[in-house]
Amino acid sequence: MAAHRGALCEVVRNPHLGEEWAQAIVQTPRLVKAVQDLIGPELAVENTFLVIKWPKRDFEVPWHQDGINDQLELDPLRAVAAWVALTDAAPTTGCLHVVPGSQRAGYRPYEQEAATSSARGRGLATRMSPETRDLPVPVAAGCGVLMDTRLVHRSPSNQSTGARVGLNIRYVAPGGIRRGSAPSLLPITGTGTGWQFPNQ
């Protein structure tokens, strides 16, 4: 964290490939079991993002769905998004906000974030009506949530005086990658084969 604090770094891509602490989190037995209960015994991590919201800085992650972007589409029945809080995440610190039931409408069109946007997390945004009602999801440090990869969510800026840190993990089962490649894939359980391009 000290290195990231010095640079006020906000997004660290794929820490599960190089950082022991991230490798430990993605392999936590309780988390792995919960994901296996949803998508089956063979799992790989397709991608991770560490998001650090420094105190009182303007950093919103816009509406998006974790299972689709310009390079990738995940099969929502064979992929799960996990978000693990490394510090307490509350409405004032920029916790996730979700649109309950939004997964039922499937993947939506998405676009690059506007150049003027304060959002710097993912580069992609899902257009939602200004009246969209969302639900804040507070998560205590050390806990996490599992999300359907079609669930629309966002996170606002951190208004508190401490950093808010969270790890986003995309897990896939064999056949879970519908489109695109997965250069950061890390097998967690199973044979370690058949993850990439399973349907191609």
| Residue 14 Cβ vs ligand AKG, minimum distance, rounded to whole Å | 12
| Residue 48 Cβ vs ligand AKG, minimum distance, rounded to whole Å | 9
Q: Quick check: 49 binds ligand AKG (CB under 6 A)?
A: yes
- What whole-number distance in Å separates Cα of residue 53 and Cα of residue 33? 29
Residue from 79, 98, 168, 169 touching ligand AKG (CB under 6 A): that is: 168
Q: Quick check: 61 binds ligand AKG (CB under 6 A)?
A: yes
Answer whether 119's CB lies under 8 Å from 62's CB.
yes
| Burial class of residue 25 (count of CB atoms within 10 Å of its CB; 0-12, 13-18, 19+) | buried
Backbone angles phi, psi at 173, to 5 degrees: -100, 165
Give the count of residues interacting with ligand AKG (CB under 6 A). Answer: 10
Residue from 51, 98, 139, 177 touching ligand AKG (CB under 6 A): that is: 51
- What whole-number distance in Å separates Cα of residue 113 and Cα of residue 118? 9
Q: Quick check: 98 binds ligand AKG (CB under 6 A)?
A: no
| Residue 42 Cβ vs ligand AKG, minimum distance, rounded to whole Å | 23
- What whole-number distance in Å separates Cα of residue 65 and Cα of residue 80? 11
| Residue 121 Cβ vs ligand AKG, minimum distance, rounded to whole Å | 6
**Sequence-ordered list of residues with C-beta below 8 angstroms from that of 15, at least 6 positions apart, any chain:** 21, 22, 48, 50, 167
Amino acid (1-letter code) at residue 53: K
Site for ligand AKG in 138-157 (CB under 6 A): 153, 155
Site for ligand AKG in 102-141 (CB under 6 A): 121
- What whole-number distance in Å separates Cα of residue 159 and Cα of residue 110? 27
| Residue 191 Cβ vs ligand AKG, minimum distance, rounded to whole Å | 28
Residue from 66, 75, 88, 113 touching ligand AKG (CB under 6 A): that is: 66
- Which residues of this protein are in contact with ligand AKG, per CB under 6 A? 49, 51, 61, 66, 94, 121, 153, 155, 166, 168
